[in-house]
C-alpha cells in the first residue's frame, strides 16, 4: 500500500510539474517556436520496468533515471501501470497509447489458432535455511507417493518431480538454494505458484529463512510455512511460530493469515495434512495455461554430458513442447533431439507445468533462461537479432584468455562503508561464467565524484553506487559523457542489474538443421581399401560437407562429416529421397549395417 501511495503521489508531482512548465501565465522571453515530434509507443496496462525500457528501445539507465527523479525507486522486475509508464515515456519524448488487447509477451501465437486456457498442475518450490530439512521433506513426499503408486508416478532423475494427490497432479521443483530462484527472477521468470517455506523447530527463523522469504514475497505467490524436525528432543514449535510471526508470517491458529503445518520427515507426521493444504490452495487458485501452439519454458537445470552434450531440464510454462522443435534462449539455440521425463523415459511432447530433460542445444543454457519455440533456424536468427537490439546499450570488452574469448564488464564500485566493498565485490565475482565476468576497474568508499565519471569514460566502464549520493553536477557530467551510473539501496537489486548488463551481448550460436536421413545397407572396402558406406535415403536429401549423426538403437553413437557421395559410378554432391548411394564419411566410430545416419546443415544465429 505504501508503494502504491508513493506511485500515486509521484504521478501527481509529475503532472503538476508538467502543468507548471506549460503555464501560459508565466512570463517568458519570446523565442522562435520549436516543434518536437514525439514518437508514438503502444504500451500494455501492466508492465515491468525492464519491459518499459524494451518498449521504448532505450537504455534502462534512462528509464530508471526518470523514475528515481520522480521519487520512484523500483527494481527492474517490479510492475508499473500504464499511467506511470505513460508519464515516464512523456519525459523521454514519447507519446504513449494504451494497447487495445493485452498481449502475453511469453506466449507465441499461431496466426488463426484459437487460444484456450486449460487447467494445469500447480508448481511448488521448497525453500528455507540450510539443514532445516528441505531435502528430507522432498524425499519423504517421494517415498509416500512410491508406496501409493508405482514409481512411474514420480520423476526422479531431474531437478523436478510430479506427484498425484487425490487425482490432482502437483509439480515440485527442488532446484538447490535461493540463488537459483533469484537467478530465474532476474530473467523475469516466475517458475513457482506456491512456496513451501521450511523452518526447523529446533532453530526457528534463520538468516537464509529471511532471504528465502524475501524472494517468495517478491514472486507474489502463496506461502505455506512448514515447521520441520518436530521429532527432535529440543524442538520448540511455539517458539518457532513466534519467530515466524516476527517476520510477518503469523500462523492462522494465532489469528494470522499464513497457513502453517508442522511435520516430521522422519516419521511422516503432518505430511498428509501438508499435501492436502497444497491441493486446497491449487483448487482455489485454479491455475491455467495455454495448451495449444508453440511452447514457452524456463530452464531450471543445465549441464554438459560426455555422450549427449549440452542438456537442460526445463519447466514448460505455456504451449506444448515437442521433439524436433527449433528453440532459442538468451545464450543458446538448437533443435530438440530427445526429450525425457524424470524417470529417463522418452516422451514426444510435454504440456504446461511439466518438467522434462532436453538435448540438442548448441551451448549450455543459463539457469532461468526463457526458452521459446520458433518455426525454423532462420526465424531463430531473426529473433535473436531483435532481442539484441532491445538489450541494454553496454559495451562488454572482449578479452583473449587461455580458456578462449571472454566478455568483460568494466565496473567502478562506490559504497558508503568499507566493509561492503569486499562483500559486494565477492558477489559480483560469483556472477562470472565461462563467457563473461565483471572486472572491477576501481572501488572506494564515498560519493560518486567527477573522477569516477572521467575514469569510467576512459575505461568504458559503468558506475555502481551502493547507498551513496551523486551530486547534480556529477550527474550532468555523466549524462554529457554518456557514462551509465546506477545507484542502489539493496544488494540483490545491484546484482540483478549486473546480470542484465552482462547479458548485453549474445555471441553467435551454431544451429544444425536436419536435412536428410539414410539407412546403412552395407559397409565394404573399395579397391583403395577405403571404407565405403552403401545406403538408401529415407527422408530429405544428403549433400557433401554436411554433418552426420550416427543413430544406433535409438541412441547417438557418434558424429562425422560427409567427404564424398556417389550415385551409381558417378561422383555427385547431392542425393535425394529413395536414392541408393555410396558415401565416404570422416567418422570416429565404426558404421554398422542397420545404422541410421542423420544429415544436418550448419547455420549461425
In this structure, what C-alpha cell is assigned to residue 74? Answer: 523500483
pLDDT of residue 466: 92
User: What does the alpha-carbon distance between residue 314 and residue 366 come to, in Å, rounded to a whole number?
Assistant: 11
**pLDDT single digits (tens) 244-256:** 999 889 998 898 8
Q: Report, as an integer, the average pLDDT of 389-406.
A: 48
User: What does the alpha-carbon distance between residue 333 and residue 314 come to, in Å, rounded to a whole number?
Assistant: 14
Last residue of a domain, one of 271, 288, 305: 288
Same-domain check for residues 534 and 516: yes
End-to-end CA distance of the chain: 45
Same-domain check for residues 144 and 169: yes
Same-domain check for residues 282 and 296: no
Q: Report, as an integer, the average pLDDT of 172-196.
A: 62
**pLDDT single digits (tens) 53-67:** 878 878 777 888 888
Averaged pLDDT score across all residues of the chain: 78
Query: 10 Å Cβ neighbour count for 324?
Result: 11
Same-domain check for residues 342 and 444: no
**pLDDT single digits (tens) 66-110:** 887 776 767 676 778 788 888 888 888 888 888 754 333 444 444
Does residue 114 form part of some domain?
A: no
Residue 401: is it exposed, middle or buried by C-beta count within 10 angstroms (0-12/13-18/19+)? exposed
Same-domain check for residues 137 and 283: yes
User: What does the alpha-carbon distance between residue 275 and residue 578 come to, in Å, rounded to a whole number?
Assistant: 56
Tell me which residue of 460, 401, 385 sits closest to 434, measured CA to CA. Answer: 401
Residue 263: is it exposed, middle or buried by C-beta count within 10 angstroms (0-12/13-18/19+)? buried
Instruction: Say yes or no to pLDDT of 263 above 50.
Output: yes
Residue of higher predicted confidence among 94 and 188 = 94
Same-domain check for residues 208 and 221: yes
Does residue 105 form part of some domain?
A: no
Does residue 113 form part of some domain?
A: no
| 534 strand-pairing partners | 522, 582
pLDDT of residue 452: 87
| 251 strand-pairing partners | 258
Last residue of a domain, one of 288, 323, 340: 288
User: What does the alpha-carbon distance between residue 571 and residue 543 come to, in Å, rounded to a whole number?
Assistant: 12
**Range of the structural domain that residue 300 is part of:** 290-389
Does residue 470 form part of some domain?
A: yes
Task: Tell me the CATH number at 191.
Answer: 3.40.50.300
Residue of higher predicted confidence among 208 and 320 = 320
Q: Report, as an integer, the average pLDDT of 34-38.
A: 55
Do residues 512 and 335 lie in contact, with contact meaning Cβ atoms separated by under 8 Å?
yes
Q: How many domains does the chain have?
A: 5
Tell me phi and psi for residue 388, to 5 degrees: -60, -40
Tell me which residue of 172, 451, 135, 139 sits closest to 268, measured CA to CA. Answer: 139
Do residues 280 and 308 lie in contact, with contact meaning Cβ atoms separated by under 8 Å?
no
Q: Report, as an integer, the average pLDDT of 303-326.
A: 88
- Helix, strand, coil percent values for the chain (each to nearest 5): 30, 35, 35
The helix (run of H) or strand (run of E) holding residue 489 is none
Same-domain check for residues 85 and 154: no
Q: Which range, 155-169, 386-400, 504-518, 584-598, is most confident?
A: 584-598
Does residue 103 form part of some domain?
A: no
Q: Report, as an integer, the average pLDDT of 108-131.
A: 73
pLDDT of residue 184: 54
Q: Which range, 19-28, 319-328, 493-502, is most confident?
A: 319-328
pLDDT of residue 187: 42
Alpha helix segments (H runs only) across 254-309: 271-285
Last residue of a domain, one of 459, 477, 502: 502
Residue 202: is it exposed, middle or buried by C-beta count within 10 angstroms (0-12/13-18/19+)? middle
User: What does the alpha-carbon distance between residue 439 and residue 136 come to, in Å, rounded to a whole number?
Assistant: 40
Helix H, strand E, coil C: the string for 177-210 is HHHHHHHHHHCCCCCCCEEEEEEECCCCCCHHHH
Does residue 213 form part of some domain?
A: yes
Residue 505: is it exposed, middle or buried by C-beta count within 10 angstroms (0-12/13-18/19+)? middle
Distances (CA, A) of 295 to 34, 92, 298, 348, 349: 49, 35, 10, 13, 10
pLDDT band at 145 (very low <50, low <70, confident <90, very high): low
Share of the chain above pLDDT 90, in %: 24
Same-domain check for residues 160 and 269: yes
Task: Tell me the CATH number at 328.
Answer: 2.40.30.10
Determine the longest span between alpha carbons in the chain, in angstroms.
100
Tell me which residue of 64, 37, 38 sits closest to 53, measured CA to CA. Answer: 64
pLDDT of residue 404: 52
Alpha helix segments (H runs only) across 486-593: 491-502
Same-domain check for residues 134 and 283: yes
Please state whether the predicted TM-score (pTM) of the whole model is above 0.85: no
User: What does the alpha-carbon distance between residue 356 and residue 359 come to, in Å, rounded to a whole number?
Assistant: 10
pLDDT of residue 345: 85
User: What does the alpha-carbon distance between residue 309 and residue 371 come to, in Å, rounded to a whole number?
Assistant: 18
Instruction: Say yes or no to pLDDT of 204 above 80.
Output: yes
Tell me which residue of 138, 179, 132 sits closest to 155, measured CA to CA. Answer: 138
Same-domain check for residues 496 and 516: no
Does residue 111 form part of some domain?
A: no
Tell me which residue of 287, 312, 290 sits closest to 302, measured CA to CA. Answer: 312
Residue of higher predicted confidence among 363 and 400 = 363
Same-domain check for residues 272 and 354: no
17 by DSSP, 3-state: which?
Answer: helix
pLDDT of residue 178: 43
Does residue 109 form part of some domain?
A: no
Same-domain check for residues 137 and 238: yes
DSSP label of 92: T
Do residues 80 and 14 lie in contact, with contact meaning Cβ atoms separated by under 8 Å?
no
Amino acid at each position: 500500500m505504501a508503494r502504491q501511495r508513493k506511485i500515486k503521489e509521484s504521478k501527481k508531482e509529475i503532472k503538476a510539474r508538467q502543468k507548471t512548465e506549460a503555464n501560459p501565465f508565466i512570463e517568458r522571453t519570446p523565442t522562435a517556436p520549436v516543434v518536437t515530434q514525439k514518437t508514438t509507443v503502444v504500451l500494455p496496462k501492466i508492465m515491468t520496468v525492464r519491459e518499459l525500457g524494451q518498449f521504448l528501445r532505450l537504455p534502462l539507465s534512462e528509464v530508471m533515471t526518470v523514475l528515481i527523479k520522480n521519487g520512484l525507486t523500483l527494481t527492474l522486475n517490479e510492475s508499473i501501470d500504464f499511467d506511470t509508464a505513460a508519464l515516464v515515456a512523456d519525459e523521454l519524448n514519447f507519446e504513449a497509447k494504451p494497447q487495445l488487447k493485452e498481449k502475453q509477451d511469453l506466449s507465441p501465437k499461431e496466426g488463426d489458432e484459437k487460444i484456450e486456457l486449460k487447467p494445469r498442475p500447480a508448481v511448488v518450490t521448497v525453500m528455507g535455511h540450510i539443514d532445516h530439512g528441505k531435502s528430507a521433506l522432498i524425499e519423504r513426499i517421494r517415498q509416500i507417493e512410491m508406496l501409493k503408486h508405482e514409481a512411474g508416478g514420480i520423476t526422479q532423475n531431474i531437478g523436478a518431480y510430479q506427484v498425484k494427490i487425490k487425482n490432482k497432479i502437483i509439480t515440485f521443483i527442488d532446484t538447490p538454494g535461493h540463488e537459483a530462484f533469484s537467478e530465474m527472477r532476474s530473467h523475469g521468470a516466475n517458475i513457482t505458484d506456491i512456496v513451501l517455506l521450511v523452518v526447523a523447530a529446533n532453530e526457528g527463523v534463520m538468516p537464509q529463512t529471511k532471504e528465502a522469504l524475501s524472494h517468495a514475497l517478491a514472486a507474489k505467490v502463496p506461502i505455506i510455512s512448514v515447521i520441520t524436525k518436530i521429532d527432535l528432543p529440543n524442538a520448540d514449535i511455539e517458539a518457532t511460530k513466534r519467530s515466524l510471526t516476527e517476520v510477518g508470517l503469523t500462523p492462522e491458529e494465532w489469528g494470522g493469515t499464513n497457513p502453517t503445518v508442522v511435520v516430521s520427515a522422519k516419521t511422516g507426521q503432518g505430511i498428509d495434512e501438508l499435501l492436502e493444504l497444497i491441493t486446497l490452495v491449487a483448487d482455489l487458485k485454479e491455475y491455467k495455461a495455454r495448451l495449444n501452439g508453440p511452447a514457452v519454458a524456463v530452464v531450471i537445470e543445465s549441464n554438459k554430458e560426455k555422450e549427449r552434450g549440452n542438456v537442460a531440464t526445463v519447466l514448460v510454462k505455456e504451449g506444448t513442447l515437442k521433439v524436433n522443435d527449433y528453440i532459442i534462449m538468451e545464450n543458446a539455440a538448437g533443435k530438440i533431439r530427445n526429450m525425457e521425463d524424470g524417470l529417463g523415459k522418452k516422451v514426444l511432447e510435454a504440456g504446461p507445468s511439466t518438467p522434462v530433460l532436453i538435448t540438442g542445444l548448441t551451448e549450455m543454457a543459463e539457469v532461468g533462461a526463457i526458452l521459446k519455440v520458433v518455426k525454423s533456424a532462420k526465424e531463430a536468427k531473426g529473433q535473436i537479432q531483435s532481442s539484441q537490439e532491445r538489450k541494454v546499450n553496454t559495451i562488454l570488452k572482449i578479452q583473449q584468455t587461455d580458456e578462449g574469448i571472454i566478455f568483460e564488464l568494466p565496473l567502478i564500485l562506490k559504497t558508503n562503508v568499507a566493509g561492503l566493498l569486499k562483500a559486494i565485490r565477492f558477489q559480483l565475482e560469483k556472477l562470472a561464467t565461462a563467457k563473461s565476468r565483471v572486472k572491477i576497474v576501481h572501488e572506494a568508499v564515498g560519493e560518486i565524484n567527477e573522477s569516477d565519471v572521467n575514469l569510467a569514460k576512459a575505461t568504458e566502464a559503468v558506475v555502481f553506487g551502493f547507498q551513496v549520493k551523486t551530486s547534480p553536477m556529477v550527474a550532468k557530467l555523466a549524462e554529457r559523457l554518456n557514462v551509465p551510473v546506477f545507484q542502489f539501496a539493496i544488494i540483490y537489486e545491484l546484482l540483478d542489474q549486473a546480470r542484465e548488463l552482462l547479458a548485453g551481448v549474445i555471441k553467435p550460436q551454431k544451429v544444425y538443421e536436419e536435412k536428410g536421413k539414410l539407412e546403412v545397407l552395407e559397409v565394404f572396402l573399395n579397391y583403395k581399401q577405403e571404407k565405403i558406406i552403401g545406403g538408401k535415403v529415407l527422408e530429405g536429401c544428403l549433400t557433401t560437407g554436411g554433418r552426420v549423426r550416427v543413430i544406433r538403437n535409438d541412441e547417438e553413437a557418434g558424429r562425422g562429416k560427409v567427404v564424398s557421395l556417389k550415385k551409381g559410378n558417378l561422383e555427385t554432391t547431392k542425393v535425394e529421397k529413395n536414392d541408393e548411394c555410396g558415401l565416404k564419411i570422416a567418422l570416429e566410430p565404426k558404421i554398422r549395417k542397420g545404422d541410421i545416419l542423420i544429415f544436418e546443415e550448419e547455420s549461425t544465429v
